[in-house]
Structure 1
C-alpha cells in the first residue's frame, strides 16, 4: 500500500558555551547582568543555575556561567501535535525514543495523551521517523492529508493596546530564539519586560518591539479591496488573460464566502493591462479609499504600485513576485515562497540521509539551483562526492570494487521542468528496481510524483511542495463543492491560488480593520500554507510556508 507523509518541522536551536566557569555574585549583580557579562542568554543562565529563577541571588553565591560540554554546541527539538488514535506507547515506538527521554523533554507529560497535545521530540528523530507508520488515506495516486507533525512557529504574536508587537511564550521557547525571531536586542527585550529577570515562563506575554503604525481601513466597517490582474495583457496573447480569469474565479468565491459571513466588502476589479500600459491602470486606485490591493502579477508592476501608494502605506499583496529587491517594503505581503527555501530544505534532507553515497544533482539550464544545493552540501557534509548532471539519464549506480555489486546513490532533482521531472521519476523507478537503498529528493513538485507514487516509494522520494489539497478535509470538500456548483468544474491551479490568497487576506482583518496586526498567524487555506515572516526588520511579510512530502514503500 502506498504511504505518503507531509511534514513541516520547526526547529528550535539553543547554544551553549564551550567552557565551564564560576562567578561569585557581587553587590549589584542580577541574572541579567551576569548573563550579559559572560555573553550568554538569560535562558542559558537559568538552565545552568535553576535555583536562580527565584531571583534570590545573594552576595557570595557561586553560579555557573559556562557549560563544559563543547560537544553540545547545538541541540534541536521539534514538536508534533497529537492526533486521534496516537498513544504514548505508539510515539515511543514510532520515534525510537525511550520513555525516560520523552519525559525529560516533556516534564509533567501524562500517560493518557489528548488530541492536540504538543509533544517535544529530538529533531533528528522527527526528521527520520515522522509518520513512517501512518498510512495515507487519500486516493491511490494522490498525497495523503497533511499530517500535523509540526508546531506552529511564532504564531502567538499580536499588538498591545500601547502599540507594541507582543508574543506569548510557548513551551520550549528560549530568550535567544525570541530575540533572533523578532530581530531585537536582548537589552531592548529586558527593558520592555522587566519580569524576564525572573526567568522565561510559558504563557508570558512579552512586548518585543514597537509596532508599525497600524493601517486602519478608511471607511468605517467596509473593507475596500482592489484586485489588479492583466486581463487585456497583449493582443493575441491569451496566457496571462486566462491565468487572470482563473485567479479571479477563485478570488470571487472567497469574496462571496466572506461576505455571507457578514464581512462588509467593496471590491473593485482593475485590468492591469500589459507592463507597457500598466501606468494607466494606476489612476483607477483611489488612494484615499482603498484598504487592500491584491496584485498585480509582475514585479515591475508591483514596484510601480508601491511607489504610487507609498505615502498611504496601503497593504499590497504580491501573488507571484518574490525577489530580494522587494523585501524592504513594509506594506508588501509576498505570497510565493522563495525557491531558496525549498533548496535549503533539500540540503537538510540529504544531509540527514547521507551515508557516504555519491550524490547526483540534476541541473536546469542555468544551474542556479543545482549549484546552490551543491555548495550547501559541501558545507554540510564531510568530503561529499557530488556530480552535477544535465539529464536524469546520466545518473548511474556505483559499483563495489570488492564484490562487483551495484551500490545505491542519492539523486537530487534541481529542475522545475516537467519533462525533466518525468524523466527523473522514470529513472528513479528503474534504478530502485535494480538497486536497493536508492534515495531520491526533489526541490520541486512534478505531476509524475503523484501518478507514480507507489513505485517512487521504493526510492524513498522526498520532495517539497507549497500547495496540495487535503481532499479528505471537511473545509476542502466544502470549498471544492462550492466551486463546482458555481463554475461546473474543478478549480485549476490559478483558481486555487486566487481563492487561497483572497480568503487568507480577508480572514486576517480584525475588528479594527487591521490586516498587518494579524500577519503572525499561521493559516492553511484550500491548498496553501501561509506562514509569514519579515525577512528584514520593518520589511515585507514573506510567506515561508511549505510542506515536505515523503514517499515510502
Structure 2
C-alpha cells in the first residue's frame, strides 16, 4: 500500500514538473521516423537522448525540442528553386511517395492541392527537382516546365501551419482559426481518422480562392452552418481495428490527473498500470494511455450479399395501426436508398419484419436467423431494441436504433443510435448564449418537463457572473427589461427550450413584438419551428439562432436528384419519416463493406438528404451515438 502511495506521488510530481515536449516510444518507432515526425535532425534527437543510439524500449520517453521546426514546411518547399513532375506507376500511393522522396504529406499536398483526384496510373505529381534526382531511381519523369511556368511560391507559410498542443481539440482549433471542422479535415486529409497528436503540425489555412461574386441586391437572411460534434463526449481512439491486440486509448490532457482518468473510464489503478508501464515516469500531457481491450467488431462469416433485417412496427399481426403509416413512410424512403445502393453494385438481401408493438415484439424475433444476419435496422422502441441486442449478443450483429436513445442502451458496443440527444442541443445553446451575454436578463421558455430548461439554467449560472435567469412556462411571460436608472426598456436574451409547435410560434411572435420596443435582443431555440422560416426578416432583428437535426438543402445537386427520384417512384414528395427512412438506410449501407465491417467507417462524417451523421462512442466500447446537427442563424 505504501509503495502504491509513493508511486502515485511520483505520478503527480512528474506531471506537475512536466514542461518539455516528449515522445513515448511505441511499436514500430525508430530514431529516424521519430526525428521526421517532429521535424528535427537525428543529431538533435541524439543530443537530447544519448540512449536513443541504442535499442529503443517500448514505453521509453524521449525528449523532443522542435523549436527549430517552426517554419520547416515553408523552408523545405520554398528552398527548392525548381520543381519537377513524376509519372505515377502501378501501386504508388501518397504514403509511398512521401517515404520514397523524403517529403511530408503536408509539403506534397501544398505542391499538389488536388492530389486525391490525381493519383491514377499515368497522372503527374509535382515534387521538388532535387528530391526527384536524389531519390527518384527509375521513376518515370514528366517533361519539366520552364522556371517561368512553374510557381514556386508555397501554398502556405509559417502562419498557415500550427503545432498541435496537448489541450487542443477539433472545436478549439476550428474556432481559433475561424474554420469549420469540415474545412479543417479537408486541409489535413487523414486527420479525422488518426485524431489530434500533440507535437504534430497541421495546416490551418489554405490558399485563398477568388471570392464569389455576390448579388448586392439580394439580402442573405439565413446562414446554415454544419457544426462540430458535441465537445462533452470523451475523446477516445483505437489503433488499427483489424488487430486483435488493439486497445481503446486516451490521450492525456494538461488538466488530467490519474484519479480523474480512473473515474472517467471506470477502471482500477492496477489495470491502468499493467497496461501502461511507462506511467512509472509520471503522467505527462500528450501520453497515449491504453484503457482496455478494443471490442472486436462484427465480421461477415460467408456469402457475397449483405443480409439486412429491417424491423418496422406495421402491426398487421396484432391489428395495431398506431405506427403503421409512420412505418410505411419510413419504408418508402428506405426502399429508395436500397435501390440506389444496389444500382451502385452493392449486393443486398433485405428481409422486412413486422415488429408489431412492444407487447408482441418477442414473436417477431423468431423470424431472425442470427447466424445469417449481418445488420439489423430497427426496431423503433427502446424496450424492443434491448430485446434485439440481447437476442444477437453472441453474434455481436450491428443493430441500428432509428429513434430510441437512452442511457441504458449505451453499454452495447454493437449499437448505432441515430437520434441526437437533447443535451447535445442544450450544450450548444449554452455556448451560444455565453458568447453574446452582456448582463442581459435571460428568459428560458420551458416545456412541462423542465429537464432541459433546468439544465440550461444551471449551466449558465455556473458560467455567467451576476446572471439573472428566469424560467417561464409560456412565451407570453417574456417582457422587455426596464433600466432602473432611465426607465427605458433594455434588451433581453430569450431561449426556447420547448419542442411544442404552438409554443414555438408564440415565441416567434413575442420576440418580433419585443424587437419593435427595443433593439439588441437575442433569441435562441433548441428546436426548429415552421414560424421561423415564415418570419425570417422580422426574426433576423433579434439574431435568432436555432438548431436543426434535419434540413433539406433544396438547392443541392444530390438533394434534387433524390427528391426527383422519390417523386417519380411514389408520385408525391417525401414525408418527414420517408426522409428519415432514406437517410438512415443510405447512410448505414454506405458505411458497410463486403465483410459487413460497418464500424471500420463509422467515423466518417456525412450528410444524407436531410440528416447529418457524426457518430461518437458514448463510452469506451459502448454504443455509437449520432451528434450531428445544424446551426441556423438569421442575420439582419
User: RCO (CA 8 Å, sep 6+): is it higher in 1 or 2?
Assistant: 1
Q: Secondary structure at the match of 2:547?
A: strand
Query: Structure 1 residues 310 and 486, CA, compared in 2 at 3 Å: closer, same or farther?
Result: same
**Which whole-Å CA distance do the structure 1 matches of 2:516 and 2:550 have between them?**
30
1:64-99 CA-partner distances (Å, limit 9, x unpaired): 9xxxxxxx9988432625999xxxxxxxxxxxxxxx
Alignment-derived partner of residue 439 in structure 2: 356
Question: Does structure 1 retain, via aligned residues, the 8 Å contact 2:305–2:594?
Answer: no
CA drift of 1:505 comes to 0.9
Question: Does structure 1 retain, via aligned residues, the 8 Å contact 2:605–2:612?
Answer: yes
Alignment-derived partner of residue 363 in structure 2: 280
Query: Structure 1 residues 210 and 223, CA, compared in 2 at 3 Å: closer, same or farther?
Result: same
Q: Secondary structure at the match of 1:458?
A: helix
Alignment-derived partner of residue 510 in structure 1: 593
Structure 1, gaps ≥5 residues long: 1-32, 65-71, 85-104, 116-132
2:45 is the counterpart of 1:54: yes
CA drift of 1:511 comes to 4.0
2:557 is the counterpart of 1:464: no
Question: Does structure 1 retain, via aligned residues, the 8 Å contact 2:615–2:627?
Answer: yes
Bigger shift: 463-472 or 150-159? Answer: 150-159
CA drift of 1:148 comes to 7.7
**Which whole-Å CA distance do the structure 2 matches of 1:166 and 1:36 have between them?**
25
Q: 2:253 aligns with which of 163, 176, 187?
A: 176
CA drift of 1:37 comes to 4.7
Higher helix share: 2
Q: 1:323 aligns with which of 402, 406, 409?
A: 406
**Which whole-Å CA distance do the structure 1 matches of 2:312 and 2:204 have between them?**
52
Q: Secondary structure at the match of 2:494?
A: strand
Alignment-derived partner of residue 113 in structure 1: 208
Question: Does structure 1 retain, via aligned residues, the 8 Å contact 2:356–2:364?
Answer: yes
Question: Does structure 2 retain, via aligned residues, the 8 Å contact 1:141–1:453?
Answer: no
2:141 is the counterpart of 1:45: no
1:77-134 CA-partner distances (Å, limit 9, x unpaired): 32625999xxxxxxxxxxxxxxxxxxxx99877783369xxxxxxxxxxxxxxxxx99
CA drift of 1:328 comes to 0.7
Query: Structure 1 residues 236 and 337, CA, compared in 2 at 3 Å: closer, same or farther?
Result: same
TM-score (norm 1): 0.72
What is the RMSD of the two structures over their aligned residues, measured on CA atoms? Answer: 4.5
Query: Structure 1 residues 544 and 386, CA, compared in 2 at 3 Å: closer, same or farther?
Result: same
**Which whole-Å CA distance do the structure 2 matches of 1:186 and 1:41 have between them?**
21
Q: 2:386 aligns with which of 280, 303, 308?
A: 303
Alignment-derived partner of residue 240 in structure 2: 159
Q: 1:480 aligns with which of 548, 563, 574?
A: 563
Q: 2:344 aligns with which of 239, 261, 267?
A: 261
Bigger shift: 492-501 or 205-214? Answer: 205-214
CA drift of 1:305 comes to 1.0
Q: Secondary structure at the match of 2:48?
A: coil
CA drift of 1:457 comes to 0.9
Question: Does structure 1 retain, via aligned residues, the 8 Å contact 2:248–2:621?
Answer: no
Q: Secondary structure at the match of 2:439?
A: coil
Question: Does structure 1 retain, via aligned residues, the 8 Å contact 2:276–2:289?
Answer: no
1:251-290 CA-partner distances (Å, limit 9, x unpaired): 1111111111111100000001111111111100111101
TM-score (norm 2): 0.63
Question: Does structure 2 retain, via aligned residues, the 8 Å contact 1:221–1:513?
Answer: no
Query: Structure 1 residues 369 and 208, CA, compared in 2 at 3 Å: closer, same or farther?
Result: closer
**Which whole-Å CA distance do the structure 2 matches of 1:287 and 1:235 have between them?**
24
1:217-255 CA-partner distances (Å, limit 9, x unpaired): 233221100000111179776441111011111111111
1:396-425 CA-partner distances (Å, limit 9, x unpaired): 011112222110111011111000001001
**Which whole-Å CA distance do the structure 2 matches of 1:494 and 1:136 have between them?**
36
Alignment-derived partner of residue 312 in structure 2: 229
Question: Does structure 1 retain, via aligned residues, the 8 Å contact 2:445–2:471?
Answer: yes
CA drift of 1:56 comes to 3.8
Bigger shift: 280-289 or 506-515? Answer: 506-515
Q: Secondary structure at the match of 1:346?
A: helix
Q: Secondary structure at the match of 1:39?
A: helix
1:438-478 CA-partner distances (Å, limit 9, x unpaired): 10111111121122222111111111111111222211111
Query: Structure 1 residues 81 and 534, CA, compared in 2 at 3 Å: closer, same or farther?
Result: closer
Question: Does structure 2 retain, via aligned residues, the 8 Å contact 1:145–1:472?
Answer: no
Alignment-derived partner of residue 290 in structure 1: 373
- The total of aligned residue pairs comes to 460
**Which whole-Å CA distance do the structure 1 matches of 2:324 and 2:246 have between them?**
40
Alignment-derived partner of residue 87 in structure 2: none
Alignment-derived partner of residue 125 in structure 1: none
Query: Structure 1 residues 495 and 109, CA, compared in 2 at 3 Å: closer, same or farther?
Result: closer
Q: 2:523 aligns with which of 434, 440, 453?
A: 440
Question: Does structure 1 retain, via aligned residues, the 8 Å contact 2:221–2:540?
Answer: no
The residue correspondences of 1:75-94 to structure 2 (distance < 5 A) are: 76-78=172-174, 80=179
2:303 is the counterpart of 1:220: yes
**Which whole-Å CA distance do the structure 1 matches of 2:357 and 2:229 have between them?**
42
